[in-house]
């Protein structure tokens, strides 16, 4: 009986270890969550306090999420390129000589877009004044970057689910969380077109 128990316990422990999500999935999902919290916080900040310095807590939460995701996926790309196994390299996407999962590249692209939007937005305000709408060229670049981080996080979790072949798949809660983040981000960008006075227009 003891031998049978030990024999069944070892595979169970191995399955649990394999099914566990890697740390970078948690980091990228946390970054995406920080972004959506910062966006909602920033809108409230502008409505109650007005246009303030760039270094507000809400802005820091937004860009912290982008930096966290970008650095985590940058590490993943470097590890896959230089220290990845043959299987990991075969299942990766090559870009500029580097290799990494598709989700990592999407997150990195999104992080760069977010960081580029910051000086663009600051110049836009100096040149044209304060925004009267959510959708503006720099905000559109920022939104595209935020979508990239959230979508890349979903791809990374889905990739791990496909690799493990476990039932139920690991990270279902995280996948639902980041899907909600993506929906919230899209809804925030178009919310000003959904107000009651716009609901009888062709754009709505």
Tens-digit pLDDT profile for residues 116-175: 998 898 888 788 877 666 778 888 999 999 999 999 999 999 999 888 888 888 888 899
Query: Cα separation of 92 and 103, whole Å?
Result: 10
Task: Give me the residues of the chain with pLDDT under 70, please.
Answer: 1-19, 51-52, 131-133
The pLDDT of residue 19 is 61
pTM above 0.75, yes or no: yes
pLDDT digits (tens, 9 = 90+) for 146-163: 999 999 999 999 999 888
Dihedral sign for Cα 126, 127, 132, 134, please.
negative
The pLDDT of residue 4 is 46
Tell me if 103 sits within 8 A of 187, measured CB to CB.
no
What are the CB-based long-range contacts (under 8 Å, 24+) for 18-22? 18/164, 18/166, 19/164, 19/166, 19/170, 20/170, 21/157, 21/160, 21/170, 21/171, 21/174, 22/160
The pLDDT of residue 10 is 45
The pLDDT of residue 196 is 79
The pLDDT of residue 178 is 93
């Amino acid at each position: 009986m003891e031998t049978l128990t030990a024999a069944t316990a070892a595979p169970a422990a191995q399955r649990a270890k394999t099914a566990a999500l890697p740390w970078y999935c948690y980091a990228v999902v946390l970054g995406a969550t920080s972004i959506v919290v910062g966006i909602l916080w920033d809108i409230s900040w502008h409505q109650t306090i007005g246009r303030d310095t760039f270094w507000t807590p809400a802005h820091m939460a937004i860009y912290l999420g982008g930096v966290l995701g970008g650095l985590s996926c940058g590490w993943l790309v470097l590890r896959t390129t230089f220290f990845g196994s043959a299987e990991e390299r075969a299942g990766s996407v090559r870009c500029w000589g580097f290799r990494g999962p598709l989700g990592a590249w999407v997150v990195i692209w999104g992080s760069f877009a977010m960081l580029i939007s910051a000086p663009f937005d600051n110049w836009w305000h100096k040149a044209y004044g304060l925004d009267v709408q959510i959708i503006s060229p720099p905000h559109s670049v920022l939104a595209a970057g935020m979508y990239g981080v959230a979508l890349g996080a979903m791809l990374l979790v889905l990739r791990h689910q496909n690799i493990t072949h476990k039932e139920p798949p690991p990270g279902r809660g995280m996948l639902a969380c980041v899907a909600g983040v993506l929906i919230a981000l899209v809804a925030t960008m178009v919310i000003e077109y959904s107000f009651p006075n716009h609901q009888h227009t062709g754009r709505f």
